[in-house]
A and B are shown apart, each in its own frame.
Chain A
Amino acid sequence: DAGITQSPRHKVTETGTPVTLRCHQTENHRYMYWYRQDPGHGLRLIHYSYGVKDTDKGEVSDGYSVSRSKTEDFLLTLESATSSQTSVYFCAISESPGAEYGYTFGSGTRLTVV
């Protein structure tokens, strides 16, 4: 999707290993979000950022940490991956905290923890 890139697109990792997913944007938007998508649960917010070094927890933040050292990059880290973290992870950006401007989502990272 234009303006937002997620890497890697696919990853298989072993239980207990650390994993970092990257979200890179070229839109200079202040707000960035990490969601996970699971069947039957829709999209659930993990963490979000409202500026460089400013982050906060979402509804399913346990086991995840984030960092934002530059406006364009938002990293999601699974400190010790578990099978329950197998999911598709989406990064999103928005230019304001209000939902009326809509979120722009990346194409997702499919993570499998074995």
Chain B
Amino acid sequence: QQQVKQSPQSLIVQKGGISIINCAYENTAFDYFPWYQQFPGKGPALLIAIRPDVSEKKEGRFTISFNKSAKQFSLHIMDSQPGDSATYFCAASAPWSGGYQKVTFGTGTKLQVIP
């Protein structure tokens, strides 16, 4: 059962455009929503994250928008650059046993930014 649904699976954006990746979740126990960026041959790296008490968080060209009532959140990449070409994973974490926070990842979006 996929608890975090991510779309689209792939995305092609022109240089300078806005890339938008969407995620939806069902589990209301999720209390932290990070986004990871992965380049080919590398492991994912934390990009930006948000808590559900905030509707938006911006770091440079990257913005997370969060809609708690709709249980949806999205990543916006403004002024997309070829160097942003990577696979992006949304994730959500919730308390689990023993103080551990279980992190559930989306299925990933492969972004290609063309010149």
A102→B43 contact, CB < 8 A = no
Contact mask for chain A residues 22-43; partner B; CB cutoff 8 A; 1 contact, 0 none: 0000000001000000001111
Determine if A1 and B42 form an interchain contact, defined as CB atoms under 8 angstroms apart: yes
Across the interface, B101 reaches (CB within 8 A) one of A42, A92, A97, A108, namely A97
Number of contacting residues on A, CB 8 A? Answer: 24
Task: Determine if B32 is an interface residue (Cβ-Cβ < 8 Å).
Answer: yes
Whether the Cβ atoms of B98 and A100 lie closer than 8 Å is no
Residues of B in contact (CB 8 Å), total 24
A14 within 8 A of B: no
Looking at A40, A102, A106, the one whose CB has the most chain B CB atoms below 10 A away is A102
A50 contacts B43, C-beta separation under 8 Å: no
Pair B43/A99 contact, Cβ less than 8 Å? no
Q: How many A-B residue pairs have CB under 8 A?
A: 61
A42 B100 Cβ-Cβ under 8 A: no
Are A42 and B6 touching (Cβ within 8 A)?
Answer: yes
Query: In the complex, are the beta carbons of B93 and A106 less than 8 A apart?
Result: no
Cβ of A45 within 8 Å of any chain B Cβ, yes or no, is yes
A74 contacts B by Cβ under 8 Å: no
Q: Is B73 an interface residue (CB 8 A)?
A: no
Q: Is A107 an interface residue (CB 8 A)?
A: yes
Q: B98 and A56: CB pair below 8 A?
A: yes
In the complex, what distance in Å separates the CA atom of A50 from the CA atom of B101? 11
Whole-angstrom CA separation of A100 from B46 in the bound complex:
10
14 intermolecular pairs with C-beta atoms under 8 Å apart = A42-B108, A45-B102, A48-B100, A97-B98, A97-B99, A97-B101, A99-B32, A99-B93, A99-B103, A100-B32, A102-B49, A106-B43, A107-B41, A107-B43
**Which of A's residues lie within 8 Å of B, judged by CB?**
1, 31, 40-45, 48, 50, 56, 90, 92, 97-100, 102-108
